[in-house]
Structure 1
Amino acid sequence: MSRKNILWLASWYPNRYDKFNGDFIQRHAQAASIDNDIYVIHLQDAIDISGTDEEVNTQGGLTEKIIYYKKGSGILGKLVKQIRFFTIYKNAINEYVQKHGLPHCVHVHVPWKAGLLALWVKRKYRVPYLVTEHWGIYNDIVEDNIFTKPLYVRKLLAHIINESERLITVSAFIGKCINNLIASKEFIFVPNVVNTNYFKFSGQKYKRFTFLHVSNMVELKNVNGILQAFKIFLDEKNPNVQLVLIGNQNYFYEKKAIELGIPSRNLNFKGEVLYDEVAKEMQQSHCLILNSNIENSPCVIGEGLCCGLPVIATRVGGIPELVNEVNSILIEPQNIDNLVFAMKELYNNYLSFDGRSMSENAKQMFSCEIISKKLNDIYWQIEKVN
């Protein structure tokens, strides 16, 4: 099969202000570029520039164009910002077409607002587009949910999705939620990508049994529940174990740990660390804990499994699609007793988990090569609009 030129319009993407913004989209792009030539355009507002600035990075089959534009303030400033956003984005797309010709298709990641540009491309250039939705707003649980959005946003989202040639979701859960709340559209499940050059089985473990939590430490991750359960676990078992927490350095949780009386020797807040360092922590740990109240398709579960790390996670969102009885223990959300029981079970039966086998199986679901093949098959199904 010959390589196709695919234009990606990404609402979120890593940039110089936030290297983690949509990093999972970037990993999808890296995977897709194995078999096709991917050109990403992302616009990022900024307060420290007067006009526009841009970065263009090319590696192999992937080109990333990040355009920075002045962020407005006040009602008038926000209106000017929206006009500037669409003008700059359209100019960037036109420039791409002039230089590279029409793409085989446009691939939108997070339809609000990049999907509006895909609609424009479809009308102007007769080029079809597909949508991958990563945004976990299609519920009534998260604070910033779909029902908090203005009616016009919901209607436009439905129109973008309905006009797409394919709807891809990173979990079947979010696909079903979209169907129930926004638009009736058949969807294709393509999971998040794990870079198995980093996240792979090692066999080298901490000397002490280690529970690991990795997240952005927001309230929905229920880190408080993890700390409370860990304290009970320590008091009941009194083992020589540790809990390592990676993510935003939130001193609230450190104070909470002190209030609970968790000994400092059993607890390690590492803050934010680099991607490859997360992999090393997963390789050295014995169990990953994710105690979320709601989730879409958390990247850390795939990363942990590719390291051969058994998982304790809540039975919410798309999590049950990623795990099975061989590699995980699922618990109910906001249930400390459930979490304590699962920690005891995993601690006592750790040797029954075959890390090497778990890692090999996870690669067949999350690796770049697997995701590239899935996306390539979808691209080959897309035909130009007549």
Structure 2
Amino acid sequence: MHILLVPSWYATPTNPIRGSFFRDQARALQKAGHRVGMLIPPTKLRSWHGLAEVRRYWRRSNDDIDIADDEGIIIYRIPWWGWLPSLWPVKRGELALKIFDRYCDEVGQPDVLHAHSILYGGYIAAYIGQRRNIPVVLTEHSTNFLTNSILPDQKRIIRSTLRDVAKAFAVGPALAEAVQSFTSAHDVGVIWNIVDTEFFVPAAQITPADTFSLLMIASLTPRKGHDMLLAAFRHAFHKQNVTLTIVGSGYHGKRLEQLQARIADLELQNQIELLGLVSRDDLLSLIQQCHALVSSSYSEGFGVTLIEAMACGKPVIATRSGGPEHFVDEATGILVPVGDVDAMADAMRRMRDTYQHYAPDKIRAACIERFSEQAIVEQLVSVYKQLLEE
């Protein structure tokens, strides 16, 4: 089977691990014997990319396609929409269709399109599918549906996309329910994100440490709840032998400066470290060497970093933010109410005091059962085959 994935975002030179779960899914389908390609729409550039990169971006023609071969996965990347499609999103389908036809001429026509998130991978996949008579599967990832952050002009695009795809899913039950409110054409199902359990593995050997270490991996956006976590950490561990490492970048440098200033105000400079972006190999090492991973999000459609930690046998602490409460239980970690500083502080203390009671092998086994390549690929292929038989 030939499957073309259409993710709404993907890795960039400045953020090489962005959307890594899309690549994990592509690799898993490929390993299962399927032919896989990708059509990637433009990634919105922001001020922190640097002026030189932004200028290069705006000077390129939208006919200048980046083509890459990622270990057999052929990737066609649109560098930017062009002036008119940038200002008028409905024109993006026309450009994407032209690039898709080029992909078909050079690589071959796919049997199925699988889009990830409606804005705008899902929209262009539905546009292509309607005009080339190819079934489209959609998986929604965006927490904007959970936070009422959908703009008025986007609602029409969302409804038309959901009308035109053959099957619609979300990566968690709460997100599926939110997406369902935009359509009566489908019952929006749930297919979880995939985790590469061959890459995310327990450390062969962990160096014993007297310091209890917590890890947070999240973009430096207010939705991720960094300020709440910092307050809870101070409440629980000020001047104690406990550390917190925070990995991630923000949409502008000021956010990093704000968090650094907040850490200083709380007198936590000796206990909390902000690392920014790290490579995937370094990310694995950080997970393997920590005691537990913590997520303080106000809204989370799924929680990829949580299952990556669980694949490494690590217990987790997470807020009931929409996704984590559907897979974190007493055997794998602790759940706390969203925005509750006292509850988060108590959960972190309990994790430190009861850490030895968690069984890494059982945590990893629970993750593999639900989120491994085999588990998710079986679901995906079943959906694809059903569509092709109809």
Length-normalised TM-score, structure 2: 0.86
Q: CA separation of 1:378/1:257 partners in 2, compared to 1, >3 Å: closer, same or farther?
A: same
- Equivalent in 22, 25, 38 of residue 36 of structure 2: 38
Aligned to 2:361: 356
TM-superposition CA deviations, 1:131-170 (whole Å, max 9, x none): 111111113x36xx12x332xx313312221332211211
Instruction: Please list, as runs of the form range in 1=range in 2, the aligned pairs for 1:149-168 lying within 5 A after superposition.
Output: 149-150=152-153, 153-168=154-169
Greater Cα shift, 266-275 or 295-304: 266-275
Q: Which residue identity does 1:342 align to in structure 2?
A: A
- Equivalent in 77, 84, 97 of residue 66 of structure 1: 77
Instruction: Please list, as runs of the form range in 1=range in 2, the aligned pairs for 1:149-298 lying within 5 A after superposition.
Output: 149-150=152-153, 153-183=154-184, 185-202=186-203, 204-205=206-207, 207=209, 208-235=211-238, 239-248=240-249, 250-262=256-268, 264-298=269-303
Aligned to 2:47: none
Gaps of 5+ in 2: 44-53, 251-255
Q: Is the 8 A contact 1:43 1:66 kept in 2?
A: yes
- Alpha-carbon distance between aligned partners in 1 of 2:26 and 2:64, rounded to the nearest angstrom: 22
Q: Is the 8 A contact 1:169 1:190 kept in 2?
A: yes
Q: Is the 8 A contact 1:205 1:286 kept in 2?
A: no
- Alpha-carbon distance between aligned partners in 2 of 1:323 and 1:329, rounded to the nearest angstrom: 7
- Alpha-carbon distance between aligned partners in 1 of 2:349 and 2:176, rounded to the nearest angstrom: 34
Aligned-CA RMSD value: 2.4
| Cα offset, 1:82, TM superposition | 6.6
1:304 lines up with 2:315 in the alignment:
no
Q: CA separation of 1:53/1:228 partners in 2, compared to 1, >3 Å: closer, same or farther?
A: same
- Alpha-carbon distance between aligned partners in 1 of 2:334 and 2:22, rounded to the nearest angstrom: 28
Tell me the number of residue pairs that the alignment of Structure 1 and Structure 2 aligns.
369
Q: Which residue identity does 1:50 align to in structure 2?
A: R
Q: Is the 8 A contact 1:105 1:384 kept in 2?
A: no
Secondary structure, counterpart of 1:193 in structure 2: coil
Secondary structure, counterpart of 1:53 in structure 2: coil
Q: Which residue identity does 1:251 align to in structure 2?
A: E
Q: Is the 8 A contact 2:93 2:127 kept in 1?
A: no
Q: CA separation of 1:206/1:90 partners in 2, compared to 1, >3 Å: closer, same or farther?
A: farther
| Cα offset, 1:77, TM superposition | 8.4
Q: Which residue identity does 2:245 align to in structure 1?
A: V
| Cα offset, 1:80, TM superposition | 7.8
TM-superposition CA deviations, 1:270-303 (whole Å, max 9, x none): 2211112111111111111111111111111111
- Alpha-carbon distance between aligned partners in 2 of 1:17 and 1:344, rounded to the nearest angstrom: 36
| Cα offset, 1:184, TM superposition | 5.5
Length-normalised TM-score, structure 1: 0.87
- Alpha-carbon distance between aligned partners in 1 of 2:137 and 2:20, rounded to the nearest angstrom: 20
Gaps of 5+ in 1: none
| Cα offset, 1:69, TM superposition | 3.4
- Alpha-carbon distance between aligned partners in 2 of 1:379 and 1:20, rounded to the nearest angstrom: 27
- Equivalent in 125, 131, 136 of residue 124 of structure 1: 131
Greater Cα shift, 180-189 or 194-203: 180-189
Q: Which residue identity does 1:261 align to in structure 2?
A: E
